[in-house]
Structure 1
């Protein structure tokens, strides 16, 4: 895992460091632009809550919360930071050509083969 050290341009960036595993551009079919409305304005555009504007432009990543792919092999291609969720996410390529994004569990690293199987059915006896 590589550690990216910030160049000191302001006092807040002094001694700053971030873990970076892979630097890659997100896939176009798994992201879309998020419209950040409001910014402290009401429907007429008048400021009603002051000092709430700006912010950095971000892309929204489509996270596969359901994990619909079952009984199939896949591998982790990238691990990247998601600015919308304050978490790390991983891009998984499946054997059938599908791609999806999950939250990255702790201890997971790149190029690990995964097998997603169905959960065990509870049988009442």
Structure 2
């Protein structure tokens, strides 16, 4: 991405450098205001975290961390600045008329196309499952979790856009799901990248940015947990004792 350098007119503009291709006018139907409460105070108004609060007003951009527009191609229209995160975001126009924000993949430029699905090219910006487990063979514990696969964006740039059902080992990935259908939660910061190092059955081993190994499973046990209601704190304490 091109860098725009400023001439020195005042001490505050010395050595200034910004990205010249990044715009800051967000899509109106993808933003909403938010009330920044707290400001480092607790309920009594006493400062518990110093040097918090203030700053410019922010509009929150709704980011699509799930990328569940399966087999529908989208085009990168803009690369925008997001005040709520240190990574840039992209405005995607899909073929069905849908408009969404996603995290900006490394190296993606305006005009590139992306797609999500189980049989899409292994290409930068595309979203694929970690393991080749189709939704017909996997169990669907909840009505909202129709796609029982783990999705993430791909950061690699391969010359051969081979079509596969899963991501090969050694691939650099980001925006990784932990819970099915919840959206990406790992490797979302600017410059963050994880590496797929092993796959076994319904689980995948990842090397995370902070050099920690983690297993990502296709499903979790005790899927009826949300249906239980203990009724009170004492019931929960007696159950744990």
The TM-score, its normalising length taken from structure 2, stands at 0.45
Cα-Cα RMSD: 2.5
Displacement after TM superposition at 1:41 (Å): 2.5
| Mapped partners of 1:107, 1:48: distance in 2 | 41
Q: Which residue pairs with 1:45 in the alignment?
A: 45
Count of aligned pairs: 124
Moved >6 Å (runs of 4+): none
Pairing 1:9-88 to 2, within 5 Å after superposition: 11-88=11-88
| Mapped partners of 1:7, 1:33: distance in 2 | 35
Change (3 A) 1:36 1:9: farther
| Mapped partners of 1:91, 1:42: distance in 2 | 37
Q: Which residue pairs with 1:111 in the alignment?
A: 111
The structure that is strand-richer by fraction is 1
Larger gyration radius, structure 1 or structure 2: 2
Change (3 A) 1:35 1:81: same
| Mapped partners of 1:49, 1:117: distance in 2 | 44
The TM-score, its normalising length taken from structure 1, stands at 0.81
